Chain A
């Protein structure tokens, strides 16, 4: 009986250990005990591999009649074609951490009718005239620029379009009232199996008269069940502009900013320091919320010197603004899966700064899943701000004011934006190209209470 019991016990243990046994693989002898016991760990250190390529292209067009360059009157017509490219590389380490290296490159080309009016372009025989017809012997002031005309020093003196009078100043709409902006960036981020995330990045942005160098760091931690996470980020942008004045307000012997004398322009810094605290929380199986607090401090030249301000007495000066600005935006976002086909994403932001600006932003977006692979995304946004006390319209400023602007971006205003997006993530790739993982198209129409309207269309493509 005892022998039978022992045999039975050995059989049972054998059965149980057989069930519990893992498949022995040829390289098992090379694993540590910790690695062996944790089947989810990736034992092999992988080489750097391509994870994702993203292209985002957008075209923006706006029109209005309150340009800050011409003192709160005049065209605000502007177009911008933006293209960004992002290369994402991935590496898993022996310890199970994931590293991402992201190289980004962006290139914008924009045209701005108002920037073209920084300079009074042409006087004819010393007298400003308001039409292009019939002039002879034009005296060009400032002298024609050679080569590129940046957006700020941009207005060309070589007339190719109609001459326009703004506040008695003759300006020329030219073919070269455009500029380019390029902005490369390099970012690294990592995530450990314990939910710790870290990252750092550098960036650069260059335009004709504006240059920016950026640094950023972030650290975050997820809870054990990954239902909440918190992250802290800091970033700094060290910018400088080449100070350009409107022609008639330019100090004597001050360069006008052409390619020829660009190097002689005064350089003025503008530094921005941002911190960000983000807290995300899963509420239940269908709802999650996020809270963002992003205080920011700016110092340096915060006014735009080629924007004119006209005073009650008819005189004009370049815009003058305080050289410091402390901003405090707080945002709240949620995403909520309703039923099996609709995701609703509401967003609210409260903003205030020490220039006296208070603003509220609310938006609502719904993703309607037409199929498991296609979503239609209607959205709407409302924004309102009270305006800064330094703002006044054309010829409404008093000469006794210390700070003054006629930039309607800082006036009391509200705006509405609405549009539609389409997101496709087909199982076999977009257009049956396996590597073409997703395509998102988005169109938005924007209406501002100060008679500015704009449209923007964007396409985002992801390849894997």
Chain B
């Protein structure tokens, strides 16, 4: 059930390419530094330790390999 909900969400995201066209001069909010869609630089180490202390990894812009992390 959870997977179905997730894929419904996924399809919704993929189908929104017909959203409102925003022109460059209308992007003052979108260009704000806090609006980045990737992880912040200061989140980097947190993500590394989450990778080590939890079984899941990836799809968060964080570390995906290299280095042991086996402590």
Contact (Cβ within 8 A) B65 A239: yes
**In whole Å, how far is B51's beta carbon from the nearest beta carbon of chain A?**
10
* A288 lies within 8 A of chain B by Cβ: yes
- CB-defined contacts of A214 to chain B, threshold 8 Å: 65-66
Contact (Cβ within 8 A) A452 B46: no
If A214-B66, A293-B59 touch, whether A288 touches B35 (CB-CB below 8 Å) is yes
Question: Nearest B residue to A112 by beta-carbon distance?
Answer: B71
* A176 lies within 8 A of chain B by Cβ: no
- CB-defined contacts of A462 to chain B, threshold 8 Å: 41
**In whole Å, how far is B44's beta carbon from the nearest beta carbon of chain A?**
6
User: A335 touches which one: B35, B50, B53, B57 (CB < 8 A)?
Assistant: B35
If A183-B67, A237-B65 touch, whether A330 touches B59 (CB-CB below 8 Å) is yes
The DSSP consensus for interface residues of chain A is: strand
* B19 lies within 8 A of chain A by Cβ: yes
Chain A proximity mask over B2-14: 1 for CB below 8 Å, otherwise 0:
1100100110011
**Complex: how many Å from CA A409 to CA B68?**
14
User: A454 touches which one: B24, B53, B65, B71 (CB < 8 A)?
Assistant: B53
User: A225 touches which one: B21, B32, B43 (CB < 8 A)?
Assistant: B21
**In whole Å, how far is B21's beta carbon from the nearest beta carbon of chain A?**
6
Contact (Cβ within 8 A) B57 A329: yes
**Complex: how many Å from CA A56 to CA B39?**
14
* A189 lies within 8 A of chain B by Cβ: no
What total count of A-B pairs have CB within 8 Å?
223
Q: Which size bracket describes the interface of A in this complex?
A: 35 or more
**In whole Å, how far is B31's beta carbon from the nearest beta carbon of chain A?**
10
* A151 lies within 8 A of chain B by Cβ: yes
Contact (Cβ within 8 A) A359 B55: yes
Contact (Cβ within 8 A) A203 B66: yes
- CB-defined contacts of A337 to chain B, threshold 8 Å: 29-30, 32, 35
* A196 lies within 8 A of chain B by Cβ: no
Contact (Cβ within 8 A) A343 B66: no
**Complex: how many Å from CA A456 to CA B57?**
19
Binds B, one of A29-37, A91-99, A132-140, A279-287: A279-287
* A272 lies within 8 A of chain B by Cβ: yes
Contact (Cβ within 8 A) B56 A361: yes
User: B14 touches which one: A282, A291, A327, A361 (CB < 8 A)?
Assistant: A291
User: B45 touches which one: A60, A359, A385, A409 (CB < 8 A)?
Assistant: A60
Chain B proximity mask over A414-446: 1 for CB below 8 Å, otherwise 0:
010100010101000000000000101110101
**In whole Å, how far is B64's beta carbon from the nearest beta carbon of chain A?**
5
If A60-B49, A288-B30, A460-B41 touch, whether A359 touches B56 (CB-CB below 8 Å) is yes
Question: Nearest A residue to B36 by beta-carbon distance?
Answer: A335
**Complex: how many Å from CA A388 to CA B54?**
11
- CB-defined contacts of B29 to chain A, threshold 8 Å: 285-286, 337
**Complex: how many Å from CA A56 to CA B57?**
22
Contact (Cβ within 8 A) B27 A285: yes
If A212-B67, A225-B21, A452-B53 touch, whether A425 touches B33 (CB-CB below 8 Å) is yes
**Complex: how many Å from CA A343 to CA B34?**
7
Tell me the residues in window 183-233 of chain A with beta carbons closer than 8 Å to chain B beta carbons.
Answer: 183, 203, 205, 207, 209-210, 212, 214, 225-228
- CB-defined contacts of B60 to chain A, threshold 8 Å: 292, 329, 331, 347, 349, 361
Contact (Cβ within 8 A) B68 A296: no
* A148 lies within 8 A of chain B by Cβ: no
Contact (Cβ within 8 A) A227 B22: yes
Contact (Cβ within 8 A) A281 B42: no
Contact (Cβ within 8 A) B37 A288: yes
Q: Which residue of B10, B44, B45 has the most chain A CB atoms within 10 A of its CB atom?
A: B45
- CB-defined contacts of B64 to chain A, threshold 8 Å: 235, 272, 274, 294, 296
Contact (Cβ within 8 A) A458 B37: no
- CB-defined contacts of B55 to chain A, threshold 8 Å: 351, 353, 357, 359, 385, 387-388, 409-410
**In whole Å, how far is B16's beta carbon from the nearest beta carbon of chain A?**
6
Chain B proximity mask over A251-277: 1 for CB below 8 Å, otherwise 0:
000000000000000000000101010
26 contacts between A and B (CB under 8 A): A54-B41, A82-B45, A115-B71, A181-B67, A183-B66, A226-B24, A280-B37, A282-B19, A283-B20, A327-B56, A327-B57, A330-B6, A330-B10, A332-B9, A335-B35, A337-B35, A345-B34, A350-B3, A367-B34, A415-B53, A415-B54, A438-B33, A441-B42, A444-B46, A452-B53, A459-B42
Interface residue ranges, B against A (CB under 8 Å): 2-3, 6, 9-10, 13-14, 16-17, 19-24, 26-27, 29-30, 32-38, 40-46, 48-50, 52-61, 64-68, 70-71
